Structure 1
Amino acid sequence: MNTSELIVSVSGIRGIVGESLPPDAAVRFAAALGTYLKGGKVLVSRDSRPSGDMLRHAIFAGLMATGCAVEDIGIQPTPTVGIAVRTLNAAGAIQITASHNPSPWNGLKLFGRDGAVLPAAAGLEIKKLFEAGPISFAPWDRVGSAGVPPNVEEDHAERVLKQVSVATVAAGQFRVFVDGNGGAGGPLAVDLLASLGCEVVQLNCEQNGVFAHEAEPIPAHLTDIAPWVSQHGCHVGCVLDPDADRLALIDETGACVSEEATVALAIKYRLRQDRGAVVVNMSTSRMNEDLAKLAGCEFYRSAVGEANVVEKMRAVKAVIGGEGNGGVIDPRVGWVRDPYVGMALILSLMAEEGKPLSQLVAELPTYSMLKTKFTVARERLGEAFGKLEKKWPTAAKDTLDGLRLDGPDWWLHVRASNTEPIVRVIAEAPTADAARQLCDEAGAIVSG
């Protein structure tokens, strides 16, 4: 099987359907997971991309062929899958999703028994099985079964509602705009917000896989959506990505909020509830570190990747964590990036402080971040890292994940992406010009 164009990593596989991601790749990857798990109950879910239904059948074949009992939970947000694994006592799960990639893409994301995305070590074992075997196929009389379990969404909503005061949020009488962008997360968002006593204005909340705008919910992709918030008199706008593990915010004026602010606002409120450790990844804003220190709490960074953040959170018993792409992780709810608990925490902050979202964002520590990317062969990174260290010799160096350099009021992170054939160069500094200069100078070195 030719996997030269298929992205295969410890996080799963991802590719273009009909080109780099053929159905036989999905069958084999599912069989690799089934071999690793040695059978047992495995949940299968998908986001709303039309190709997901085709891949679902391929995944059923791969899992059942290795003796797994497959339970189809249908179109679900990714964090709901993690919760369902624990609720249904499954050995693992596969979520069919390409996250923020465009419609032609799809992929497989793997979960373990604990309801978290599989850690790197387990992912590496499955990657090796996928690429070289051996796959443990079951004999004819031990082939797995297929079924449909009870509804799993209600448990997710209940877990979120338990973490905040519903009465306090309801007293805020919030009018909330929700854009599901045709993905998996719209219906649960609408139901959850209604349970919080909010009036909901919904757009593109059908799970039809039709993306009304580009899939990644960043400000540059939301310029057509943002005015809806102020036009409909909403207090906040919430935008989801296709598999609903990211939350982008739009304030009451119709201004898009940096995706970095989602985690920061959630952390600010969570530390009001309980003091404890905070974990974010190495490419996430320094304002989270400032908020943790202000609250007298420990702060840690992990390698980029949800599984890495979760592993560090567990190690330090963190009360909250996340990634700067709009992904909030609250261990009271689950070990997956969860926009729903993010909504609940941020609405609680707005209600308790009696301040509009724009003011809460303005009161966060002020930094400017720039995220750039370059098409560069991974083999060239070692040489580039050496040159970057010489460029900024007084900066603190961290090689946990690529290369991170920390100056007195700035940082720079250069790493190869796990999900795309690119190198990311991210910088944060007190001003936009300073961040741009860091990215430009680092990018010139990386790209040669």
Structure 2
Amino acid sequence: MTLVKSSSGIRGTLGGKVGKGFSPIDIIQFSAGYVSWMKKKHNNKKKFVIILGRDGRISSVLFQQFLIITFQSLGVDVINIGLSTTPTVGIAVINERADGGVMLTASHNPKNWNGLKMFNSYGEFLSEEDFQKLFYITEKKYFNFSSYKKLGNLIYKKNYIQKHIEKIISLPIIDKDLIQKAKLKVVVDGINSTGGIAVPILLKYLGVHVIKMYCDPHGDFAHNPEPIEKNLKEICKKVPDFKANLGISVDPDVDRVVFICENGDFFGEEYTLVSIADYILENKLGPIVSTLSSSHALKDLSIKKKVPYYSSPVGEVHVVKKMKEVHAVIGGEGNGGVIYPNLRYGRDALIGIALFLTQIAKLANIPLSKLKKRYSNYFMSKKKIRFFSHNNDKIKILLKIIKKKYKGEKMDFKDGIKIYLKSNEWIHIRKSNTENIIRIHTESTSKERANFLAKKIIYEIKEL
């Protein structure tokens, strides 16, 4: 059983003892702690409103009842938008001027997981500092439930995904008419979650012919839900079979998006942000931000475009913090997460898709296999080591030994250790925010070299 608490939210496996997995008791405690944190932050208010959304997971239907009861029992009004996407909840918080929002999802984790993503009143994820305060309140159980006279109300609002999409399409940078004229044919893998609702609706608004795969949001995922190449063999085959222009796959809560080339090749999750940043910079020059674990192809693009590039620790909150600090025009993560601040400070697959299709249409419907050749050709190896110890001190000791071993190399310590080797090669070792694992990312100009670096560092860690 696993329960992970970080700035990426709370998530865990289903079943087991309280505090060891994502149980109903944990849901109630963390949601009560969230409300208590919210009331403390806005202590001059008398009435509070929370947006509630859920992904298509089987357990989400049941668990939303625990959230509704807890929020109402704490005197908070709940606007339940039902089946939703994580970015849609953020949009709803802004639109409804709510005090916060909760998305019931475990993001890219398998179907035996679930979790909570929590928003502030700006429709953004809680900061690291605010999460620490929330965890402290939850641990101490500083909850104050309401009398029967002050129970919260429950309000249902439908069609919020459409409202989200309409807001995207209204942005001047999205050229709906040009996309429609391109007459694109697109295969969509909705992983049997809410992407199966949201992505086809967006594409129909844009005049795209849609071929659906796994777009019934019943939550029984047809394959591992993380949108990476090894999990997307079927859509890679179907795109050329249907003679489609491209394929689109998203994760279960639709904040990450990846593309498939017309010939069935994987465009690459790292190149989602690179290509979209290219389009944004054609329209407006300014700083760009990604994480320490993201491909240096984005940095190369910044050099080509003569704009500043900044890196942050892994995690949406860290990227957003840096983007605000430097006034970035675009940012995100190399996992397919795109953050376009003119819409909202948060990863959003739907705005990513709309920006990408506009770029394709403006480039006279350029094949994706040709588009990718515009950018630096790097290869990444993404590995992980199961780390059963919850003792952060042991992880710190491990990183300290690695640091000593690579003494003399240029390093970055903002998030674990990033070791810069010869030109265009690096190794990044860090503790995951979403699982009890150590993540090891390496990058080089050849696949063989990236894999060699990964195997070498894994061997060295296991020998410690």
TM range (shorter): over 0.9
Aligned CA RMSD, in angstroms, stands at: 1.5
Q: Which residue of 1 aligns with 2:319?
A: 309
Which stretches of structure 1, 4 residues or more, deviate above 3 A after TM superposition? none
Alpha-carbon displacement from aligned partner over 1:403-437 (angstroms, at most 9, x marks no partner)? 11223321111111111010011111111222122
- CA deviations on 1:47-73 (whole Å, 9 max, x unpaired) are 001100111111112222222111111
Distance in 2 (alpha carbons) for counterparts of 1:268 and 1:130: 43
TM-superposition CA deviations, 1:68-124 (whole Å, max 9, x none): 111111010111111111001111111000111111110111011111111111111
Shift of 1:293: 1.7
Question: What aligned pairs does 1:25-424 form with structure 2 within 5 A after superposition?
Answer: 25-38=26-39, 40-149=48-157, 151-161=159-169, 162=171, 163-354=173-364, 355-376=366-387, 377=389, 378-407=392-421, 408-424=423-439
May I ask how many residue pairs the two structures share in their alignment? 445
Aligned to 2:43: none
Unmatched segments (≥5 aa) in structure 2: 40-46
Shift of 1:150: 5.1
Are the counterparts in 2 of residues 31 and 65 from structure 1 also a CA contact under 8 Å? no
Aligned partners of 1:270, 1:159: CA distance in 2, in Å?
A: 18
Give the letter for the 1:243 counterpart.
D
CA contact (8 A) 2:7 2:317 kept: no
Q: Secondary structure of 1:224's partner?
A: helix
**Which one of the candidate residues 4, 18, 24 is aligned to 2:15?**
18
Which residue type is aligned with residue 26 of structure 2?
Answer: A
Gaps of 5+ in 1: none
Q: Is the 8 A contact 1:85 1:113 kept in 2?
A: yes
Q: Distance in 2 between matches of 1:324 and 1:445?
A: 26
Task: Provide the residue aligned with 1:430 in structure 2.
Answer: 445
Distance in 1 (alpha carbons) for counterparts of 2:350 and 2:37: 31
Partner SS, residue 234 of structure 2: coil
**Following TM superposition, by how much is the alpha carbon of 1:225 offset from its aligned partner in structure 2, in angstroms?**
2.3
Paired letter, 2:4: I
State the secondary structure of the residue aligned to 2:202.
helix
Distance 1:384 1:155 in 2: 48
Q: Which amino acid aligns with 2:384?
A: K
Letter in 1 for 2:84: Q
Residue 140 of structure 1: how far off its partner (Å): 3.0
- Measure how far apart 1:152 and its partner are: 1.7
**TM-score, structure 2 length as denominator?**
0.93
Q: Distance in 1 between matches of 2:144 and 2:461?
A: 43
Distance 1:159 1:297 in 2: 28
Q: Is the 8 A contact 2:75 2:150 kept in 1?
A: yes
Q: Which amino acid aligns with 2:33?
A: A
TM-score, structure 1 normalization: 0.96
Letter in 1 for 2:3: L
Deviations 1:263-286 (A, max 9, x none): 111111111111111111111110
Contact 2:425–2:443 (CA<8 Å) still a contact in 1? yes
Distance 2:404 2:35 in 1: 47
The percentage of counterpart residues that share the same residue type is 33
1:295-338 deviation line (CA, Å, top 9, x unaligned): 11111111110111111111111111111111111111222211
* Closer, same or farther: CA 168–213 of 1 in aligned 2, 3 Å: same
